[in-house]
Amino acid sequence: MSEQVDSISSTDANVNRPKLRSRHLLSISDLSLEEIFLILETAKAMKEIGTRPIKKVPTLRGKTVVNLFFEPSTRTRASFEIAEKRLSADALNVAAMTSSLLKGETLADTARNLEAMAPDMIVVRHSASGACHMLADIGNSRIINAGDGMHEHPTQALLDALTIREHKPSIKGKKVAIIGDLAHSRVLRSNVLLLNALGAEVWVSGPTTLMPRGIDRFGVTATTSVDAAVREADVVMMLRIQTERMRGNFFPSVREYFKLFGLTRERLRLAKEDVIVLHPGPLNRGVEIASEVADGPDSVILEQVSNGVAVRMAILYLLAGSEGGD
């Protein structure tokens, strides 16, 4: 671990740094199993930097990272910016409400103009699925997907895996229940890909109206019974109701939803005694999760937030050294 930290802290171009095959991180499917473990192990080393009195290393000095966010974000945007600054990169934040998109400029033109300023990496969040892939095709900067529509959120899945591994050293064979708005969740899609790669037994549960068609094809056990999903689970991950993506009524009322699908202390007793509870945030108390669970001893929600900084530091570091052409 100490050798890895020394390598991370170095600005010497001759240091043999680990790297990823691809120039971009667009999807969990871009990563081999070896690269997944490389990111998670590198993130563990990055956590040590966060414990220092001076939480900064010169690793990415001289690199420029643009945070291009077209959707609201608290945890993802803040943790990327903190990660960039801890690695000494120059960070530039661009939000939709303060960009020329309001004047009719297209996403592609915005990206081309940013490319003309020669940033090294662009972190992108956008409401359209596939937006990050389009940007990767038209520019030279490395692209990191910080959430594209209902498609994927790969860095969230990686920080979730890091958090789980800190409590369950081996994810293989562990029952992970993912519950909530499955139809609109990019977190679900990335987590299913990653957890299956790590050998977990993945269960998903939610109302029929919020269950994606053909979800069984993705190697999960799907059920509308939350109790069945939670029973004997090692990990329970709750997803919020994404009303901003809904067109129409998907359930009778919030009260009815919480009664049937919310995670309460009583329902959590069905899980294993050492169960941990995750939530990608923002959480809606009294909708998908009770406050006594969110703030209870089984909750690792704030640990996820802390690990988000470390995982994003690891990704920035590894992509900075990548030479792939994909």
Catalogue the active-site residues.
75-76, 103, 125, 153
Chain position carrying tokens 């809606």: 284
Angle of helix 154-167 relative to helix 186-197, nearest 10 degrees?
50
Residues in the chain: 326
Phi, psi (5° rounding) for residue 301?
A: -60, -45
Instruction: Supply the angle between the helices 33-49 and 186-197 in degrees, to the nearest 10.
Output: 110
CA quadruple 279, 280, 283, 288: dihedral sign: negative
* Alpha helices (runs of H) in the chain, residue ranges in sequence order: 2-9, 33-49, 75-86, 107-115, 131-138, 154-167, 186-197, 226-230, 254-261, 265-268, 291-294, 301-320
Angle at 283 between CA 282 and CA 286, to 5 degrees: 155
CB neighbour list of residue 320: distance below 8 Å, 6 or more residues apart = 59, 60, 63, 120, 121, 142
Q: Chain centroid to CA 32: how far? A: 17
Integer Cα distance of 123 and 165 in angstroms = 26
Distance CA 210, CA 195 (A): 21
Q: How far is the C-alpha of 1 from the C-alpha of 311, rounded, in Å?
A: 16
Tokens of 272: 């294993």
127, two tokens: 């409401």
